[in-house]
């Protein structure tokens, strides 16, 4: 588990450095995630239980780590009073509509045998 956490931190560091020096608009942790994924795919060894446990632990408490950022929403003072309706309306309507339409589209294209190989069923 400790070794696993070390691996995660190592890739977070590599990601931060690559994001900073490459000038890509992608944040460090996302680059770290992509690099670790590529490493795991290329490596022939089985995934170590330590890394599996560490990842499982971090992901289990993902919601907790979002709490401080979510609190920020209640302290937004930058929105002019006449823009509140537009902002909240947009978020609610557009998010819900996008979810419904995207989910239905994906269900439709997945049912097309030409697009998804039969092996995908299961």
Give CA–CA dist 109/96, Å, rounded. 20
Q: Which parts of 52-91 interact with another protein (CB under 8 A)?
A: 52, 54-56, 58-76, 78-80, 82-83, 85-91
Q: Which is nearer to another protein, 21 or 68 (CB)?
A: 68
Q: Which is nearer to another protein, 44 or 82 (CB)?
A: 82
Give CA–CA dist 16/86, Å, rounded. 35
3-state per-residue secondary structure call for 73-113: HHHCCCCCHHHHHHHHHHHHHHHHHHHHHHHHHHHHHHHCC
Q: Which is nearer to another protein, 3 or 116 (CB)?
A: 116
Q: Is 23 in the site for another protein (CB under 8 A)?
A: no
- Say how many residues touch another protein, by CB under 8 A: 81
CB of 17 to another protein, least distance (A): 13
Q: Are 50 and 3 in contact (CB under 8 A)?
A: yes
CB of 78 to another protein, least distance (A): 5
């Amino acid at each position: 588990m400790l070794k696993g956490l070390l691996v995660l931190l190592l890739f977070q560091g590599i990601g931060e450095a690559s994001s900073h020096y490459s000038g890509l608009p992608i944040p460090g942790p996302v680059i770290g995630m992509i690099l670790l994924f590529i490493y795991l795919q290329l490596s022939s060894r089985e995934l170590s239980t330590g890394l599996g446990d560490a990842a499982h632990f971090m992901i289990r408490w993902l919601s907790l780590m979002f709490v401080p950022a979510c609190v920020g929403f209640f302290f937004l003072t930058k929105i002019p009073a006449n823009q509140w309706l537009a902002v909240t309306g947009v978020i609610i309507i557009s998010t819900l509509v996008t979810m419904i339409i995207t989910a239905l589209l994906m269900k439709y294209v997945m049912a097309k045998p030409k697009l998804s190989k039969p092996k995908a069923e299961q």
